[in-house]
A and B are shown apart, each in its own frame.
Chain A
C-alpha cells in the first residue's frame, strides 16, 4: 500500500526534471557540486536530493560539519513535511519512519578535519556497520579550500565504493567573485574532477532561485535547468 503511494509521489516529483537535466541523474562513482553564496538554499536542495533517493529505497549518508545533528535531522523533517503536505498520503509518519531507517547522519565537529579521517569513518560505517550506502551528501564541505589531492581521493572513493556523491559548497573567504550563474571562481581549479557543477542564484525578476548546470560530463556549456527553488519555502519545483 505504501509502496504504491511512494511510486506516485516519485513520478510527480520535480526531482524527475532535475534528473532529466542531468541526462537521467548523476550516477554512481560521480561527483556533483551545488554552489552559491551563503543562504541561497543549498542545504535544502541537498536534503531534497537525499529525500528523493530515500523514497527510491536508496541508502544515504549525510555528512555535516556543523556539530549539530539535530539541525540536520530537522531539515529532513521539514522537507518531508513540505513534500507530504498536500499529498494524499494515508499514513505519512509511518512512511517517514520507514525511509529514515536508510539514512545515517555523520557529523564531524572538529575543525579542519582531514578528508582521510572523514572517508575512513565513512568506510567503517559502510563495512563494519553493514550500511550499503548508495549516495553520500557532503553538506557544507570546504571544497574551495581543499587541495586537488583531497578531491581526487573523494573521487577515487566514490568509484571504489560505488557511490553517488553530492556536495553543497559555499566559499570560505568573503572576497570571492561569483559569475553570472552564482559560481565562485575558486571552484574551477577542480573542474576536471567534477562530473556535474550546478550554480544557484537568486533572480529578483521572477523571485526564484534559478539553477544552472554550468558544467556536465567534462563540457563547460552553462544550461539553465528545468527546476527552480522557491526562496521562501526553499522547495524545488518545475
Chain B
C-alpha cells in the first residue's frame, strides 16, 4: 500500500487506568490483527497484546511504545502505544515526534485529570491534531457531557461531541451518530456487528440539540460550512470535510465515546481516525541541513525524493535488535544504502519488518510516511538516516536533564557483566537515562527523571538481564553556580627540564542572568592585539569547560557561567594548547570561591489531585516539604493542587500522600526549574560532601 492518503500514524495517549490498553486491544481485534480479546489484568494469564514486556504485564501498565500496524476499511494505520506515566515522559515525547495525530483517551468518570493535562500540553508542543475518546461509559457515574466540558474548560480545547450515548452506566447500549443522525448498536459476542437504526424516540430532542451545537461549533471555524448552513444545504460529506480540516488545523477536537471493555463505540472511533486525522503528507516536518549551517529544510512526503528517516525507538527483544523508524521523505527498500548523519557511518538495509505488538511481518519495501523497523542496525534512538546525497538531521528532540541519580552495586562478577550489557542497551534506548562510573567511589551511577523511572530500569536489569544489583539511596542531581563576578589573572609556569610551559590569562567570570537560563556556559573572547595568540583561545575555552564539569562545593557540574578573557601573555616557545588549558582551569578554580558559589537544586512542578476534603492535608504536606503552592482548583468534590517542590523533599511522597488521603489522591511531577538551595541546607550539603571525601 503506497497511497499516502490512506496512511495514518496515530498515538493513543491517556491517563493511567483510563483504559488505554483495553482500547488498543479492541482496535487490534476489530482490525483482525488478533483473534481473541484478553483483558489487561486478565484472568486468562495472557494479558493484552500491546503490553509487550513482562514487567508491564505484571504492573498492568504500558512502559515502552510499541508500534503496530492495523488495516481499517482500506487504510493502513500505525498505532504507536504511548506510556501513561509522567516519569516516562521522554517515551511519550519521542512517540509524539513521529505521530501525525492522536486519540486522547479519557475516563467518563474521572474526566480530565492532572496527567491528561500533562499529556495534552505535550501534544500542543508538537502540534499533534487529536480526537478524544470518552471511555468507560458503562461505569457508575459516567458522564461524557461533563468530560467534554472539561476538555473545553481545563484544556482550552475546542471540543465538540460527534456522538451522544444511548443509555449510560449499566444501560449503555450504543451511541447516536450526530452526523448521520442514526443510532449505532454493537451486536455479536464481541460487538463486531454494527446495527444502524433510527434514533430512539426519547433521544431525538437531545440529538437534535447536540447536532445543532456540532454544526454551530464547526461552522465557527469553517466558512464553507457556515455558508452551507445559511443556504440550508448541509450534507454529511460537507460536515466531515469541515471537521477534518478544522481538526488537522488544530482548531477542533471531535469527541467520541463508548466503552472499550463492553465493546461499544470502537469502530466509529476508527472511522473517526481515518476521517479526521491527517495523513503523513498533510503534516509539515522539518529537518536541519548539517551541510548548510543547520538551516531548517521542509521535508516533502514524496517517495521519489532522497530518503530521510528517523530511528525513534530501539528495542532489544526476543527477535534481536530492532530499530523502529519513520520515513519522512523518500522510500526504503531492502538493500538500500543509508548514512547515519550523527556517526557518518554507512549502512545497508537488511531485514525490514512491519511490527505487530508481539509478532512481525517481513516486508521488501516501506513507503513515504510509513513506520517500520530495521534489524541489527547499530545506532542510538533519535538518530537520522539519510540517502548518502543528503546530510540532514531531524530536529533534535527536547531532552530534559536528569534530576536524580542512584548508585548501583552488582552482587557478583556475573551480575556486573550483565549490568554493563543492560546499561549499554538502556542508554541507547532512552536519552533521559544516563550512566557513569564515579571515579572516587568507583560505583556505577545511573541518572534519570524520577524515582520510578530508575526503579523500572533496575527491575528490568534483574528480570531481563539477570543482573542482581543492590542500590543505595537515590540522590538528587544538584548543580553548582556562581552568584557574583570575580576577576582573575593567572600565570601558569612550569620548568622541569626539557621544554617548559607558560601561559597567562586574565579576565573575569560572572553569572549568566536567569533570562539566559537555557545556556549553561558562555565563553567571551575580548583579547586585543594578539596578547594571546588566536590558536590558543579555544584552549582557554576548553580549560574552563573542564573546570565546570565538577565544582568543588559538592562535586556537581557548575552551570550559568560566563567566562570572559580580556588579557594575557604568552611565550613563543613554552606556550602550548595544554599550557593555556591548564591556565584557564587553574584560574577558574582559584577565583571560584570569590565568585560566591551557590548550590542549585531541581524544583519539581507537582500536581496533586484528590477529594476536596483532603485539601488541608495536601496543602500541609506541600508546606512541610519546602513547597510553594501555585494554585488550587476546586471542581465539585475534586481538588487539583499545583505546587513547586524541591526534588530532595519529594522522596517517599507517594507513600505519605496515600496515608494522608486514604489512598484517594494521586500526583504527578516533572522538572520545572533549578533554584538556589537555602543557605542553611547548602551548608549541610557542603559539610556532608567534605566528610564523605575525607572518609575515602
B635 touches A68 (CB 8 A): no
A121 touches B632 (CB 8 A): yes
How many B residues, CB 8 Å from partner?
27
B629 touches A109 (CB 8 A): no
Chain A, range 50-106, C-beta contacts under 8 Å to B: 67-70, 72-73, 90-94, 97, 100-101, 104-106
Give, as a whole number of angstroms, the nearest-CB distance from B605 to chain A.
Answer: 12
Inter-chain CA distance A129–B639, complex, in Å, is 14
**Could you give, for residues 594-632 of chain B, a 1 whenever the CB lies within 8 Å of some chain A CB and a 0 otherwise?**
000000000000000000100111011011000011111
A129 touches B619 (CB 8 A): yes
B634 touches A107 (CB 8 A): yes
A190 interface residue per 8 A CB criterion: no
Inter-chain CA distance A110–B628, complex, in Å, is 24
Given A104-B631, A109-B633: A67 and B154 interface contact (C-beta under 8 Å):
yes
B74 interface residue per 8 A CB criterion: no
Given the complex, which residues of A lie within 8 Å of B153, measured CB to CB? 67-68, 109
Inter-chain CA distance A70–B635, complex, in Å, is 16
Inter-chain CA distance A208–B620, complex, in Å, is 45
B526 interface residue per 8 A CB criterion: no
A70 touches B619 (CB 8 A): no
Inter-chain CA distance A131–B628, complex, in Å, is 9
Inter-chain CA distance A130–B616, complex, in Å, is 10
Given A67-B153, A91-B514, A94-B514: A105 and B630 interface contact (C-beta under 8 Å):
yes
B515 touches A104 (CB 8 A): no
Given the complex, which residues of A lie within 8 Å of B513, measured CB to CB? 90-91, 93-94
Inter-chain CA distance A106–B612, complex, in Å, is 13
B634 touches A125 (CB 8 A): no
Give, as a whole number of angstroms, the nearest-CB distance from A214 to chain B.
Answer: 32
**Could you give, for residues 214-255 of chain B, a 1 whenever the CB lies within 8 Å of some chain A CB and a 0 otherwise?**
000000000000000000000000000000000000000000
A130 touches B623 (CB 8 A): yes
A73 touches B631 (CB 8 A): yes
A128 interface residue per 8 A CB criterion: yes
A107 touches B632 (CB 8 A): yes
Of A91, A104, A108, A113, the contact of B630 (CB 8 Å cutoff): A104
A124 interface residue per 8 A CB criterion: yes
B634 touches A113 (CB 8 A): yes
Inter-chain CA distance A90–B515, complex, in Å, is 10
A67 touches B631 (CB 8 A): no
B628 touches A125 (CB 8 A): no
Given A69-B642, A104-B629: A109 and B620 interface contact (C-beta under 8 Å):
no
Given the complex, which residues of B lie within 8 Å of A130, measured CB to CB? 620, 623
Give, as a whole number of angstroms, the nearest-CB distance from B630 to chain A.
Answer: 7
B45 interface residue per 8 A CB criterion: no
- Taking Cβ atoms with an 8 Å cutoff, the residues of A that contact B are 67-70, 72-73, 90-94, 97, 100-101, 104-110, 113, 117, 121, 124-125, 127-131
- Taking Cβ atoms with an 8 Å cutoff, the residues of B that contact A are 153-154, 156, 513-515, 517, 612, 615-617, 619-620, 622-623, 628-636, 642, 673, 675
Supply 15 further A-B pairs (C-beta < 8 A) apart from A67-B635, A113-B634, A121-B615. A90-B513, A94-B513, A101-B628, A104-B630, A104-B632, A105-B632, A107-B631, A107-B633, A108-B634, A108-B635, A110-B635, A121-B612, A129-B619, A131-B623, A131-B629
> 30 A-B residue contacts at CB 8 Å?
A67-B633, A67-B635, A68-B153, A68-B156, A69-B631, A94-B513, A94-B514, A97-B514, A97-B673, A104-B629, A105-B630, A105-B631, A105-B632, A107-B634, A108-B634, A109-B153, A109-B154, A109-B634, A110-B636, A117-B634, A121-B615, A121-B632, A125-B629, A127-B616, A128-B616, A128-B620, A129-B616, A129-B620, A130-B623, A131-B629
